[in-house]
Copies of this chain bind each other. A is one copy, B any other.
């Protein structure tokens, strides 16, 4: 199957249908093409440092909001690995609402992430915020994250895509699902097919949580694209107490993984302390998420296999 993108009126349908080997020419209805299930109906499995995202196993990405020091990063990395996380996150370049907030360690943070990968053995993800930093960041980590505020920073999408690294693309805080998939399409058009979508809450009128988790997005995304989708309940809720129930809900809804903020001492975190889990709480979260994963035919033990339709039958449990 060959997908052609561009302006429909410029497409030589008549010529193409008569080429040898062409059986059918059909239009794609969605504005996104490469991301669409119309073009590719089997789930895409993205591999970050060998860890598959989008198969039967659930991928858990954990770590601090920001890399603060070697001690803080290594302690967190060891703790989240011990609890069963598969990937390490940590911000070196932090997009902060105020210019007076901690902006991240920059290149020093990248080096610490490289170190943590070597020391602890987890693949590493970090955010990139400037086209000029993409090359440097790509040298140090296994996957690039495009943050919510940059979801429609199209220059950055193209530059990050061109790096060839897997990209975790967070949804803009007021982006529709269609706009989000079109942002993914910007990356896919660079020839890079390794895109993981990450829902992280949208902006609404409700003030109790930091953002409103749009969990239905998981079902909508699964229906419309072959790309894997994970959810970040930490940024969504902004409150560590609500991360646990939401993590279970995320898995039950059918997402392919979780991104969770963990900090060895949340009260002293330089950013996002209120929503960061203490390592012990993260361990409890992994323990509580595991049976929910099983209940929907998934597992926290990663296996590199396309997920079948939910196979876990109610009948096999003693009600």
Contact = CB atoms under 8 A, between A and B. Distances in A.
A212 B216 contact: yes
Given A153-B149, A216-B209, A249-B252, A288 B314 contact: yes
A314 to B, nearest CB: 4
A155 B131 CA distance: 9
A319 to B, nearest CB: 6
A220 interface: yes
Nearest to A300: B319
A223 B208 CA distance: 12
Contact of A132 (B132, B152, B223): B132
Interface residues of A, number: 85
A287 B153 CA distance: 38
Nearest to A183: B97
B176 A208 contact: yes
Contacts of A251: 252
A216 B237 contact: yes
A315 interface: yes
Given A204-B212, A216-B213, A155 B177 contact: no
Interface in A89-140: 95-100, 129-132
Interface stretch (A39-47, A73-81, A239-247, A274-282): A239-247
Interface string A211-238: 0111111111011000000000000110
Contact of A317 (B131, B249, B291): B291
